[in-house]
A and B are shown apart, each in its own frame.
Chain A
Amino acid sequence: MDRRAAFFLGAAVVSFLLVPVSDGYDWVPITVGVVYLVLALGSWLDARGHRRV
């Protein structure tokens, strides 16, 4: 697996783990987690594209 995608996935997991302890501002870790999920997907697609080339 693309190492960068794995790193972003890890960051997303960390962000989502913070949601239960973020009463009243849980939208922050959720947003950060979603951004990292998108970055992980983008990075994985980018790496796959490069491998094909």
Chain B
Amino acid sequence: MQDLLVIIVIVVALGFDYVNGFHDAANSIATVVSTRVLSPRTAVLWAAFFNFAAFLVFGDKVATTIANDVVMQDALSIGVIFAGLAGAIAWDLITFWFGLPTSSSHALVGGIAGAAVAKAGFGVLISEGLRKIGVFIILSPLIGLAMGLVLTLGIYWVFHRNRNIERLHRGFRHGQLASAAAFSLGHGANDAQKTMGIILALLIASGHAAPDASTPLWVVLAAHTAIALGTLTGGWRIVKTMGSKITRLQPVGGVAAESGAAITLFATSAAGIPVSTTHTITGAIVGVGAARRLSAVRWGVAGRVVWAWILTIPGAFAFSWLAFLVIDLLS
């Protein structure tokens, strides 16, 4: 019976990862498609491939952080992890329904914390790990913004002798292939690892892995496959939001935004810090717009990031707390 429950929770975790790919990965192909460097179908394949390939480049530090640094391991159980996932998914769906800003990554952290607190009280939270995640929730969009802005200014400075701006943009169209690939790699690395962390925590809690175990290869491959499949099936629907809603992106801006976000994701993934990939690319796109002038940025969309900071973790925490109480009552 316990093994069946473990399999069900793994399927739910991979489903969460799939939806993440479906929802988020289009961020990385928005500019390649809107500037017609690639067709939507090829762009989605491009992003999905690099989502999957991320496992070859990055280790499992983010996964270890999720599994070991959010709540104490002895507070983790199959029920806690299922309730954490259920709360995070419910929060994502409800905020999607009402059009409220959210972040799947933050919801996952809030969800696991909420379910663990419902089981064993606030003492099980690891303040050092949560503090680090909290600090980078705020810092990652700010770093992305600064990177996007500095790279935009740097590109224009390097090519300032080029008076023909249209020719400059034409030259950068194909550069977007590299920057989109880099961002997809960063997205796969940071977001797939969050699911890897949840599954690793589940395996430890159910006795299928030692407390100090590293992530098994099948978990790594399953998580990266799920996010890549999500990208493959859902990519195009959300492309327009990131490509035009925040600020209108040209090829130079696209390269700067994707590269800035990719550098931020590479650094945080290497340091084992889970961050929101959507917030990071949003910050970088705002940075590209701000390099021209502040009025080039549609601040309503950027402001949603701030609301997501405030709402997501407490919201997912509360939902998962309730979910655990229901599971506890039923069992």
Give chain A's interface residues, CB within 8 Å of chain B.
3-4, 7, 11, 14-15, 18, 21-23, 25, 28-29, 32, 35-36, 39
For the complex, what is the distance from the CA of A22 to the CA of B145, rounded to whole Å? 20
Which residues of chain B are near A18, meaning CB under 8 Å? 135, 138-139
Which of the four size classes fits the interface of chain B? 10 to 19
Q: Given the known A-B contacts A4-B290, A7-B294, A25-B132, are A15 and B149 also in contact in the complex, defined by CB atoms under 8 Å? A: no
For the complex, what is the distance from the CA of A22 to the CA of B137, rounded to whole Å? 13
Of A4, A23, A28, the residue contacting B294 (CB under 8 A) is A4
For the complex, what is the distance from the CA of A22 to the CA of B273, rounded to whole Å? 13
Which residues of chain A are near B128, meaning CB under 8 Å? 23
Cross-chain contact B290 with A7 (CB below 8 angstroms): yes
For the complex, what is the distance from the CA of A21 to the CA of B136, rounded to whole Å? 11
- Scoring B residues 93 to 137 as 1 if CB is less than 8 Å from chain A, else 0, what string do you get? 000000000000000000000000000000000001001101100
Task: Judge whether B163 is part of the interface by a CB distance below 8 angstroms.
Answer: no
Q: Given the known A-B contacts A4-B290, A7-B290, A21-B131, are A28 and B139 also in contact in the complex, defined by CB atoms under 8 Å? A: yes
- Give me 9 A-to-B residue pairs in the complex whose CB atoms sit less than 8 angstroms apart, sorted by A's number: A4-B294, A7-B294, A21-B135, A22-B131, A29-B135, A29-B139, A32-B142, A32-B146, A39-B149
Task: Judge whether B161 is part of the interface by a CB distance below 8 angstroms.
Answer: no
Of B131, B142, B271, B294, the residue contacting A15 (CB under 8 A) is B142
Task: Judge whether B293 is part of the interface by a CB distance below 8 angstroms.
Answer: yes
| CB-nearest residue of chain A to B136 | A28
- Scoring B residues 138 to 152 as 1 if CB is less than 8 Å from chain A, else 0, what string do you get? 110011011001100
The 4 tightest CB contacts between A and B, nearest first, are A4-B294, A35-B146, A18-B135, A3-B294
Which residues of chain A are near B132, meaning CB under 8 Å? 22, 25
- Scoring B residues 251 to 288 as 1 if CB is less than 8 Å from chain A, else 0, what string do you get? 00000000000000000000100000000000000000
Given contacts A14-B142, A39-B150, 19 further A-B contacts (CB under 8 A): A4-B294, A7-B290, A7-B294, A11-B146, A18-B138, A22-B131, A22-B132, A22-B135, A23-B128, A23-B131, A28-B135, A28-B139, A29-B135, A29-B139, A32-B139, A32-B142, A32-B146, A39-B146, A39-B149
For the complex, what is the distance from the CA of A23 to the CA of B134, rounded to whole Å? 13
Cross-chain contact A4 with B142 (CB below 8 angstroms): no
Which residues of chain B are near A15, meaning CB under 8 Å? 139, 142
Contact residues, B144-170 vs A (CB, 8 A)? 145-146, 149-150
| CB-nearest residue of chain B to A3 | B294
For the complex, what is the distance from the CA of A50 to the CA of B128, rounded to whole Å? 46
Q: Given the known A-B contacts A18-B135, A39-B149, are A11 and B142 also in contact in the complex, defined by CB atoms under 8 Å? A: yes
| CB-nearest residue of chain A to B290 | A4
For the complex, what is the distance from the CA of A11 to the CA of B138, rounded to whole Å? 10
Cross-chain contact B135 with A11 (CB below 8 angstroms): no
Cross-chain contact B146 with A36 (CB below 8 angstroms): yes
| CB-nearest residue of chain A to B134 | A21
Which residues of chain A are near B271, meaning CB under 8 Å? 25
CB distance from A16 to the nearest CB of B (A): 11
CB distance from B54 to the nearest CB of A (A): 23
Which residues of chain A are near B134, meaning CB under 8 Å? 21
CB distance from B274 to the nearest CB of A (A): 14
CB distance from B132 to the nearest CB of A (A): 7
Cross-chain contact B139 with A11 (CB below 8 angstroms): no
| CB-nearest residue of chain A to B145 | A11
Which residues of chain A are near B138, meaning CB under 8 Å? 14, 18
For the complex, what is the distance from the CA of A11 to the CA of B294, rounded to whole Å? 14
